Amino acid sequence: MTRVRVDDHAAEEGRWRNPLQTPYMEIERTFSAVREALQSRQAGYFLFGHSAGAQFVHRLLSFVRCPRVLKAVAANAGWYTLPTVDKKWPPFPYSLRGVAREFQDPRQVLFAPLTVLLGTRDTRGKEEDSNLRGTEGAMAQGANRLQRGMTYYEVGQQAAHNANLPLAWKVQLVPGAGHEVAEVIAPAGQLLFAP
């Protein structure tokens, strides 16, 4: 098992990259370019990611200020950046502890129109799934993707409660779904596009 550095100084030590200099901003730039080219008045976009794509989705909502996301679905992420600086949780990239101060406030992601979509059979552990991260920080979130998704949602609930804010997120379970995008894509489409 890989050990997590137990500190909270990623930004100070230069291990933190400003999200504006990462691929997260490319979604916003692409949306702006397409909107301009089409002379569209579309207010925003819909975002879906499965597995590593779900990690991208929830981190974009965490670190890009005021993204124009209308609805987002993060399905079966392998692990999460928890919306907290609580020392109970390992530091960045597993929580907001250690990121630059301007990104430590979880309010933006707590207000995001996010659904955490989880397959009830996405329960294979590290021993059965070599793609599942087995670091100390990831394992603190749970032994499998279902547990880690529930941890992310519960930490979001707690962060919202601590800040006396409403949590905009939803959690949705897909009965019988494992770690296959085909098993969650229809529910994701319903969540994103159904009236």
pLDDT in tens, 69-109: 999 999 999 999 999 999 999 999 999 998 888 889 999 99
Q: How confident is the model at residue 10 (pLDDT cuts 50, 70, 90)?
A: low
Q: Does any domain span residue 100?
A: yes
Q: How confident is the model at residue 22 (pLDDT cuts 50, 70, 90)?
A: confident
Q: Does any domain span residue 177?
A: yes
pLDDT of residue 67: 83
Residue ranges of the alpha helices (H) in 64-180?
107-110, 136-139, 145-162
Q: Does any domain span residue 26?
A: yes
Q: Does any domain span residue 11?
A: no
Q: How confident is the model at residue 5 (pLDDT cuts 50, 70, 90)?
A: very low
Average pLDDT of span 6-12: 53
d(CA 167, CA 184): 23
Do 74 and 96 form a contact (C-beta atoms < 8 A)? no
| Model confidence, pTM | 0.90
Which range marks the domain in which residue 120 is found?
A: 19-193
CATH code, domain carrying 161: 3.40.50.1820
Q: Does any domain span residue 10?
A: no
Q: Does any domain span residue 181?
A: yes
Q: Does any domain span residue 6?
A: no
φ/ψ region of 98 (left if φ > 0, alpha if ψ in -120 to 50, else beta) reads left
How crowded is residue 14: how many other Cβ atoms within 10 Å of its Cβ?
8
Average pLDDT of span 130-149: 97
- More confident: 92 or 54: 54
The candidate with the shortest Cα–Cα distance to 80, out of 61, 95, 64, 91, is 95
Question: 62-77 b/e with 16+ CB inside 10 Å = b?
Answer: bbbeebebebbbbbbb
Q: Tally the domains of the chain.
A: 1
